[in-house]
Structure 1
Amino acid sequence: MYGMLSIGGKYKLVLTAILLIALLAAPLLLSEFRLGLLGKFLAFAILAIGLDLIWGYTGILSLGHGVFFGLGAYAMAMHLKLAASGGELPDFMSWSGVETLPWFWVPFHSAGLAVLLAIAIPVLAALLIGYFTFRNRIRGSFFSILTQATVIIAVTLFVGQQGYTGGTNGLTNFSTFLGFSLSDPVVKRMLYIATVLILGLVLLASLKLASGKLGNILIAIRDAENRVRFLGYNPVTYKLFIYCVSAALAGIAGILFVLQEGIISPAQMGIVPSIEMVLWVAIGGRGTLFGAVIGALLTNTAKTTLSEAYPEWWPIVIGALFIIATMLLPQGIAGALSGWIQRYRVQRGNRRQPVRPAAALASSGLAEPGPEQS
């Protein structure tokens, strides 16, 4: 069983409270630019939590979560683009020869409907993919390859339909959301705080889910799916449910990412970003949820820092860090910390336990019987 699963509920609540307090204090310490980066990383952390639920707890390795993230981001970006163009035809459509607004763009005039669709569309995509794969018992490396194929299909589609999706450039040049200017520093801080609060809610809900009966069933499916089936549970139902939950979290992450980053393109939902998402969870610690958050924050911070200082070398350095972390910390950062805490508890308990005389042990029946007693 992985890392934090063995840590009690009160410790999880304390860790969550400490994390949220630290993040809410960040606007007092960081510049506007750094705060925007941190907000983007927190959106990634929400996605990482969902990925940990299906990989760390259920054993489903998805290498295509960039698709769900991209679908949520594009849905939000479509509303922002319509708002920036005053409800008229977006500029990139005019450049591509499109004369009227496509029918599937019309619902995105509404901000509320855009948010709902940004979550519902990834969920529907996950439902479709998961139903046919899980029902046919496609799992392991075969499922991972299939998810990568969906990434290739999605990226090709979004790049090819330039008149409807913006092509390679994607969607950008947003100005307002709900009437508030996205360039206003106050609005940026409010978006950051909203991201922190949503991350806290997602983390608490995921911890509650993972610590209950459903979490135990997911772990059992990961460790012995056939045995779960023999016990009368249908693994397909549980895998499909958690896969859709993970896709919904990816869609939420896409919404928050676009609002703070101001752009979404097919490159951000491709194979490389999808693999990086898995690295966040691996480095942070599978099956821990806290590790997913830590991995997303640390990995993206290191990536940004190294790309600024060594733009040509940072991919190699990131890869080396992943290899080192995998070899030295196979359970990730959170798993290693949890192991150290548990060993400390055991040692502390051993020191507190009084040494009882042999006579007292014998009288209590706890001493091993001697030759004459046997």
Structure 2
Amino acid sequence: MRSLLGRWQTWAGFAVAAVLLFGVAPAVLSTFRLGLLGQYLCFAIVAAGIGLAWGRGGMLTLGQGVFFGLGAYMMGMHLKIADAEIRGNSVPDFMQIAGIPVLPGYWAPFASPAFTLLAIVVVPTAIAALLGLGVFKRRVKGAYFAILSQALAAAMAILLVGQATLGGSNGLNGFRTFFGFTLSDPVNRQMLYFIAAAVLLVVVAIVRQLMQSRYGELLVAVRDGEERVRFLGYDPANIKVVAYTAAALFASIAGALFAPIIGFITPAQVGIVPSIAFLIGVAIGGRTTLLGPVLGAIGVAWAQTAFSERFPAGWTYAQGLLFIVVVGFFPAGLAGIGALRKRRARTKPAAQPVPDPDPDPEPEKVTAS
């Protein structure tokens, strides 16, 4: 009975989210604000994967900008080739300015939409799997894994800046079409938002299934007692690799959607700072819950836009202060406050009955002498 009730609550939650994302938001938000919400949903997709890897698996992934950037740049390469073909050019516009007359060899396959979509899924997944096996098999964890993943994000940003065939520090920008649809058309921009919303719901459903499955229990067991799991006959490295790879895949898909929604992608959006920003939203929302990372990422991104419009120089300090307060006083995030209250209410001792101050005395027994 309880499982049936939980299943109905889950479906009801997805229905409410679908109504808000597909019905209410397009009706009340302008085209510009709807595009901003689409960007926030892309961040939420990344956060859902981080919640799985970090919240359930204990892997502090400080390098999700690497996979986010891979997906964004691969999508951007296809969009730039498509724009060049429409204008009758053999190379994108920025290559003409840089004096590159021929399309580089590694660009050519991305002229195919099917290859691009396949690469967005396969390339980051393969890289994450190989990297995860190499790291976790050597039992690298904790702060060492966090530093390694952060170094990868920094290395990728530096590498992209030095690549003239990828736009250098300017990145790829000026996208005009998306698989044949004109991006300047508000209807098509709304279509991009709907795609991001649908992908977010699918990703949340996948993460929930993983968390509720036997694998999810093993992942939590690895986080809390890796040596005990190894003693029971399981390889913790393989369990970690699955979560790390899934998080990388979600980040790549989010980046591929982010590029056409925002209209450009630069090395500054895939380095250390964006990777930490993803983590801040997850920590504030509640990394061990299902919806905490998603809502936290959307909330932090919205707050950044809202407050930076009024206080451009002060938002960074406010964001850092909020992160310190949450981590220091609410380790489970804002989503854990309600659970903490319920736990305290359950453990609160019941009130003891107050004895009657003046009980009726028993009548004295008179014995015959």
TM-score if structure 2 supplies the norm length?
0.89
* One of 88, 99, 102 as aligned partner of 1:100: 102
Deviation for aligned residue 1:225: 0.6
AA in 2 matched with 1:161: Q
What displacement does 1:317 show?
A: 1.1
Is the contact between residue 119 and residue 248 of structure 1 (CA under 8 Å) also seen in structure 2? yes
2:278 maps to amino acid? M
Deviations 1:160-202 (A, max 9, x none): 111x110000001111112110111111111111111111111
Larger Rg: 2
Provide Cα deviations, 1:97-116, integer angstroms capped at 9, x if missing partner: 32211111111111222122
Equivalence for 2:274: 273
Aligned counterparts, 1:108-257, within 5 A: 108-162=110-164, 164-257=165-258
Q: What secondary structure, in the 3-state scheme, does the structure 2 residue paired with 1:139 have?
A: coil
1:219 shift after superposition? 0.3
For 1:17 and 1:220, the matched residues in 2 are separated by 32
Q: Distance in 2 between matches of 1:14 and 1:343?
A: 28
- Residue in 1 aligned with 2:331? 330
CA contact (8 A) 2:40 2:301 kept: yes
Cα shift at 1:10: 4.1
Q: State the alpha-carbon separation in 2 of the partners of residues 96 and 178 from structure 1.
A: 26
CA contact (8 A) 2:90 2:102 kept: no
Residue 331 of structure 1 deviates from its aligned partner by: 0.8
Q: Which amino acid in the other structure matches residue 273 of structure 1?
A: P
> Contact 1:84–1:173 at 8 Å: present in 2 too?
no
- Measure how far apart 1:95 and its partner are: 2.5
Q: Are 2:12 and 1:14 aligned?
A: yes
1:56 Cα deviation from its structure 2 partner:
0.3
SS in 2 for 1:288: coil
CA offset digits 1:309-368 (Å, max 9, x no partner): 011111011111222222342211112233345666x49xx89xxx9xxxxxxxxxxxxx
Of 7-16 and 196-205, more deviation after overlay is shown by: 7-16
Contact kept? 1:172, 1:262, Cα under 8 Å: yes
Percent identity reads: 44
Matched pairs, number = 343
CA distance in 2, matches of 1:259, 1:184: 13
CA distance in 1, matches of 2:291, 2:95: 43
- Give the Å deviation of 1:151: 1.2
How far is 1:63 from its partner? 0.6
1:19-42: CA deviation from partner (whole Å, max 9, x where unpaired) = 222122200001111100001100
Q: How far 1:9 moved relative to its partner?
A: 4.5
Opposite residue 53 of structure 1, the aligned amino acid is: L
Task: Give, in whole Å, the separation in 1 of the partners of 2:205 and 2:175.
Answer: 32
TM (normalized to structure 1)? 0.87
- Which secondary structure does the structure 2 equivalent of 1:85 belong to? helix
Tell me whether 37-46 or 81-90 shows the greater mean CA deviation. Answer: 81-90
Amino acid at match of 1:94: Q
Amino acid at match of 1:147: S
Q: Does the Cα contact within 8 Å between 2:57 and 2:240 map onto a contact in 1?
A: yes
Per the alignment, residue 46 of structure 2 pairs with 47
Cα deviation, residue 119, structure 1: 2.0
- TM superposition shift of 1:289: 2.2
Aligned equivalents of 2:271 and 2:107: distance in 1? Answer: 23
Deviates more, 1:187-196 or 1:263-272: 187-196
Rounded to whole Å, the distance in 2 between the matches of 1:10 and 1:250 is 29
- Using the alignment, how far apart are the partners of 1:334 and 1:144 within structure 2? 24
Q: How does 1:334-373 map to 2 (within 5 A)?
A: 334-341=335-342, 346=346
Is the counterpart of residue 290 in structure 1 residue 288 in structure 2? Answer: no
CA distance in 1, matches of 2:343, 2:111: 53
Structure 1: distance between partners of 2:328 and 2:163: 43
Partner amino acid, structure 2, of 1:93: M
2-side partners of 1:234 and 1:29: how far apart? Answer: 50
Structure 1 unpaired stretches of 5+:
1-6, 356-374
The residue type paired with residue 331 of structure 1 is A
Listed as ranges, the gaps of 5+ residues in structure 2 are 354-369
Q: Amino acid of the residue matched to residue 218 of structure 1?
A: L
